[in-house]
A and B are shown apart, each in its own frame.
Chain A
Amino acid sequence: MSAAARPVVNVYGEKEVVASLPLPAVFKAPIRPDIVRAVYTNVAKNKRQAYAVSVKAGHQTSAESWGTGRAVARIPRVGGGGTHRSGQAAFGNMCRGGRMFAPTKVWRRWHVRTNVNQKRFAVASALAASAVPSLVLARGHRIERIAEVPLVIADDAESLVKTKAAVTLLRAIKAYDDVKKVVASKKLRAGKGKLRNRRHTQRRGPLVVYGNDNGIVRAFRNIPGVELANVRHLNLLQLAPGGHLGRFCIWTQSAFAALDSVYADKSNYELPQHIVNVADLHRLINSDEIQSVLKAAGQAKTKRPFTQKKNPLKNAGIMKRLNPYAKVTKAQGAKAGKKAAPKKHVGASAAFVAELKSL
């Protein structure tokens, strides 16, 4: 599949197909989950707020060690008297009311910088993954009923103003199942986040990408789970939430058309190339180019030639297989042996036999 042969994507109006656009090149970018995950973990750190324990925590005592000889541990103890606190241990991370081990500091490196090229690679990868229905399904979006992936809608959506109209539009393009999933998933967060203004959790719904905001943001933003993004500022945190590829994206026609130019306008930037153009191993192996230069296939199951060991010293055939020259050696040895060793007479001597006969 060469990049030059770009399929055409249909633009959906209210009831039927309104137009068609060629697929932008981004959607053919290599899908690299490893890069996306690495970049995601970095970029996700950039919105963090500092936290730390108080600098003074655990040190607001003038405790001193009692030293040895008092039958107590040598940990610094609070001086003075008249209160429970006097004589109690202080300062150590093991002490009650002591400072923690390695008190957290605000100058921890909260934000991580990532190379621009890597960030762009990740975004391109995420976009490419959003065009693969299997990945979008695997991520958990309910897209079984939508007409096409990537899903592009007509530009009238950009001038929508009422949320009600937005919901009708989503229903018409069968994307509302995803919103229903979000609504059904709203639960109380497990853990202390409940008390820290992060009370509820819910799934993510579709991401609507627009070219020009003529009201679309306000129309869609109150629908649970739906997020908006301008084509020119695509966010990896939205395209691959959690570092998982395959967010369900709904494009407006102008956004889809603008994608190519967005990437063209980036100075000194070329979309990432595939390392291997044809990733499908099966297809490669069975292609004509490769099959034509292969040897003929052997038997599927080769017969084992011999499974029983036979003694070469007794079995001439085996000896021949092992050492074909053995025959020759043996023959030579036989000839030489014949002259050297006369045949021994076995049995009684001639004199005795004569004597026997004479009896």
Chain B
Amino acid sequence: MQHDDTIWAVINNNFCSYKLKTVTQNFCRNDYNVTGLCNRQSCPLANSRYATIREVDGVSYLYMKTVERAHTPAKLWERVKLSKNYTTALEQIDAELQFWPGHLKHRCKQRLTKITQYLLRMRKLKLKTNQTKLVPISKKIDRRELRREAKAEAAARLDKAIAAELVERLKAGSYDDVILNARESVWKKVLESDKVEVEEDQSESEDDEAEEYIEDEDEDEEMAEREMVEMSDFESDMEDLMDDDSDDDGASDDGRDEDESDEESDDSDDDDDEGEEEPVRPPSKKRAAPAPSKKAASKKRRGGKGGRGHVEVEYEHVGPARAMETSW
């Protein structure tokens, strides 16, 4: 009460951060203003005794402030929850603001009416139309995010992560019952080398791993492939001639795949492995581990179609052969 007029003089004539000036009118951006206009009667700052209605999530509250609490901003506003019933709410306002100046009561009721009306309208609208939410396209943001996505993908180096994860799983033994066609020695070598030597240069190794899975699942196809390759692969014939290795299986990638499968299934039980690995005799040449590749490759063929454990390892000139193949 003491300061009201001074406050208003300062606010109105000097500066108020809530005042919004337009050509015709002044508005007040203060949350607690009843009318939304900037004038002496409606200013929540310049009236020590003030009341408003505010609506939060469909519930209306009556806020009141008095002189006694004017110096404690945290506890300034006293809040009363109003009933959702309009008439009851009006009566509540009357009861709370019983001895308050009439114009404030009136303004509060007007505001409550407005609020009730728009809430009603909102509810009706929801029922009426299918509320398709329009989402704007923000080109700038989309472009930016796209670029970031690409960068993140590159930075994540998923292939390495996947390889590491796979080896982890191997080590953990989750593939014990799945992979059965591995050689124990190869297996152990992989396990001992703590990291997965995935070399960027030799991209085939990744292909091998991928291919290996395919092969593990679809043995038949592998067989078919092999056969076809045998027949049509002239290179392999050439190699045969060159290396004096009567190797009809020129598909070195198959051999390599088998190597991988060898390595992987090493983890499985020795019993199983031994049983199935018996037919596999020739030393396998590994792509991943820098084991000396042996030129001599036996003609050992996979015995039957069904055996998952059957691995044929046929290698020749791994390097040049591969190079020739890729240069097709």
Contact = CB atoms under 8 A, between A and B. Distances in A.
Interface of A: 1, 7, 31, 33, 37, 129, 132-135, 137-140, 143-149, 174, 242, 244-246, 278-283
B2 interface: yes
Nearest to B71: A149
Contacts of A283: 1-2
A188 to B, nearest CB: 19
A279 B5 contact: yes
Contact of A144 (B1, B3, B18, B73): B73
Q: Taking chain B's interface residues, is the majority helix, strand, or loop, or is none over half, making it mixed?
A: loop
Interface stretch (B6-14, B110-118, B229-237): B6-14
A66 to B, nearest CB: 55
Q: Taking chain A's interface residues, is the majority helix, strand, or loop, or is none over half, making it mixed?
A: loop
A101 to B, nearest CB: 35
Given A1-B2, A279-B5, A280-B1, A138 B11 contact: yes
B3 A134 contact: yes
Contacts of A245: 10, 14
Contact of A134 (B13, B46, B72, B74): B46
B68 to A, nearest CB: 11
Contact of B10 (A129, A144, A145, A148): A129
Interface of B: 1-7, 9-11, 13-18, 45-46, 70-74, 76
B13 A33 contact: yes
A148 B45 contact: no
A147 B116 CA distance: 34
A133 B45 CA distance: 8
Contacts of B2: 1, 278-280, 283
B99 to A, nearest CB: 14
Nearest to B9: A33
A149 B11 CA distance: 18
B152 to A, nearest CB: 28
A140 B14 contact: no
15 contacts: A33-B13, A134-B46, A135-B45, A137-B45, A138-B18, A140-B17, A145-B74, A147-B74, A148-B72, A149-B72, A174-B74, A242-B15, A244-B15, A279-B6, A280-B2
Contact of A132 (B1, B5, B7, B17): B7
Contacts of B1: 280, 282-283
Contacts of A144: 73-74
Contacts of A282: 1
A31 B17 contact: no
B58 to A, nearest CB: 23
Contacts of A139: 15, 17
A31 B3 CA distance: 9
Contacts of A135: 7, 10-11, 45
Nearest to A281: B5
A281 B11 CA distance: 18
Contacts of B72: 147-149
B195 to A, nearest CB: 41
A145 B4 CA distance: 21
Contact of A133 (B6, B9, B18, B70): B70
Contacts of B4: 280
Given A134-B45, A138-B18, A283-B1, A146 B73 contact: yes
A134 B11 contact: yes
Contacts of B3: 31, 132, 134, 279
A339 to B, nearest CB: 71
A93 to B, nearest CB: 38
A138 B17 contact: yes
Contacts of A143: 73
A262 to B, nearest CB: 22
A138 B10 contact: yes
Given A134-B3, A140-B17, A279-B6, 7 more contacts: A31-B3, A133-B70, A134-B7, A144-B73, A149-B73, A242-B15, A283-B2
A137 B9 CA distance: 15
A148 B76 CA distance: 10
A138 B74 contact: no
A184 to B, nearest CB: 14
A5 B136 CA distance: 61
Residue among A37, A132, A281 having the largest count of chain B Cβ atoms under 10 Å:
A132
Given A137-B45, A138-B17, A31 B73 contact: no
B14 A244 contact: yes
Nearest to A134: B45
Given A138-B18, A140-B17, A145 B73 contact: yes
Contacts of B15: 138-139, 242, 244
Residue among B4, B10, B16, B72 having the largest count of chain A Cβ atoms under 10 Å:
B10
Contacts of A138: 7, 10-11, 15-18, 45
